[in-house]
């Protein structure tokens, strides 16, 4: 079957070939995409389940749904889209194990990072928002305005793996006493000065690259604002009851804490007889994919197959 092309200006979905190989979608099956984004994984899966199959798609960002709808309509097979949090997947499926396979590409999409108005990027100035669902919840600016120093320090350690967490947390609290922190460039500058890298460069010398000093803090704030670890934990809890016997799940993570949660849940499910087999090691993007899409560098794919019911 011919592979659908990626729309202009978009990267190919992360680990697409590996996801398709693991899930092995067949005509007539029901597939759930928990994180639609631009619909790259969804379109490929929908094409393979054919006119007798069904794709159920979820996205916490409602602005993605019209674009995905148009893309999936071009495939021509049956699908249903929901503006929903994957933590409630069992409710979307009506409390019944209705899926033959589930895929989730965790974290934020490239489109969200590249839009300054969303506030995810330390490289693009914009309002410090970071909410994936902009219809609810507190923005990153609102969180930073009230969070206690110890809670911020712990979040930077646990969610950002930031070695300079105490220094960064103190700098943020000192800065907010002077003026509210409401812009991404403002926060990035505070962090750079706290870490001692005000003149950061991506390529300090030819052939090398260096992570931005604010990257870990921005990651931690995004996870905190969107309660991503808690949502993932709930998805992993309900996942076995959303799959039919022998059903398969594939989860792509970009954060060490997310990967640990997935690894632990699959391992415990295997030991408890819930899963028949799980991946022993994470699958990483090939060198060619990392070159074509540098944002895929940290991706890890883990999978599991439910035991027969």
Phi, psi of 99 (to 5 degrees): -110, 140
Residues 144 and 80 in one domain: no
Supply the range of the domain harboring residue 131. 114-227
Question: Does residue 202 sit within a domain?
Answer: yes
Bridge partner residues of 56 (DSSP): 32, 80
In this structure, the answer to whether residues 82 and 66 fall within a common structural domain is yes
Give the pLDDT confidence score for residue 291 in this predicted structure: 86
Does 289 have pLDDT greater than 60? yes
Query: Do 201 and 247 fall into the same domain?
Result: no
- Determine the average pLDDT of the residues in 72-92: 96
Q: How many CB atoms lie within 10 A of CB 110?
A: 15
Q: Per the domain annotation, does 11 fall within a domain? A: no
Contacts of 10 (CB under 8 A, 6+ apart): 38, 40, 110
Residue 102 in any domain: the answer is yes
Q: Which of 163, 192, 227 is the last residue of a domain?
A: 227
Helices 16-23 and 40-49 sit at what angle, rounded to 10 degrees? 30
252 belongs to a structural domain: yes
101 in a domain, yes or no? yes
Mean pLDDT estimate for the chain: 91
Each residue's pLDDT tens digit, 120-173: 999 889 999 999 999 999 999 999 999 999 999 999 999 999 999 999 999 999
Give the count of domains, the chain. Answer: 2
Q: Are residues 122 and 220 in the same domain?
A: yes
Count of CB atoms situated within 10 Å of the CB of 181: 18
Question: What are 20-75's pLDDT values in tens digits?
Answer: 999 999 999 999 999 999 999 999 999 999 999 999 999 999 999 999 999 999 99
Q: Tell me: do 245 and 217 sit in the same domain.
A: no
> Distance from CA of residue 227 to its chain's centroid?
12
Looking at the domain assignment, is residue 143 inside a domain? yes
pLDDT given for residue 204 in this prediction: 55
Answer yes or no: is pLDDT of 218 > 60.
yes
Q: Which of 176, 207, 227 is the last residue of a domain?
A: 227
């Amino acid at each position: 079957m011919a592979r659908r092309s990626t729309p202009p200006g978009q990267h190919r979905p992360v680990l697409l070939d590996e996801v398709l190989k693991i899930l092995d979608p067949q005509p007539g099956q029901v597939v759930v995409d928990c994180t639609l984004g631009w619909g790259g994984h969804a379109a490929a899966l929908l094409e393979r389940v054919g006119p007798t199959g069904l794709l159920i798609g979820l996205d916490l960002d409602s602005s993605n749904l019209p674009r995905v709808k148009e893309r999936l309509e071009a495939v021509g097979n049956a699908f249903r889209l929901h503006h929903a949090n994957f933590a409630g997947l069992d409710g979307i499926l009506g409390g019944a194990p209705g899926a033959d396979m589930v895929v989730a590409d965790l974290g934020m999409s490239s489109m969200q990072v590249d839009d300054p108005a969303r506030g995810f990027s330390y490289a693009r100035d914009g309002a410090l928002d970071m909410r994936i669902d902009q219809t609810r919840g507190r923005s990153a600016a609102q969180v930073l305005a009230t969070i206690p120093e110890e809670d911020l320090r712990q979040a930077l350690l646990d969610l950002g793996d930031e070695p300079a967490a105490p220094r960064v947390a103190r700098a943020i609290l000192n800065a907010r006493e002077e003026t509210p922190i409401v812009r991404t460039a403002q926060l990035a500058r505070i962090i750079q000065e706290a870490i001692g890298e005000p003149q950061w460069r991506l390529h300090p010398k030819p052939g090398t690259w260096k992570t931005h000093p604010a990257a870990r803090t921005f990651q931690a704030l995004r996870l905190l604002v969107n309660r991503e670890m808690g949502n993932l934990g709930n998805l992993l809890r309900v996942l076995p009851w959303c799959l039919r016997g022998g059903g398969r799940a594939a989860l792509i993570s970009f954060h060490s804490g997310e990967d640990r949660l997935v690894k632990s849940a699959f391992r415990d499910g295997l030991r408890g007889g819930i899963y028949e087999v799980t991946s022993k090691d994470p699958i990483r993007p090939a060198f060619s994919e990392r070159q074509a899409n540098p944002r895929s560098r940290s991706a890890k794919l883990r999978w599991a197959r439910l035991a027969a019911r």
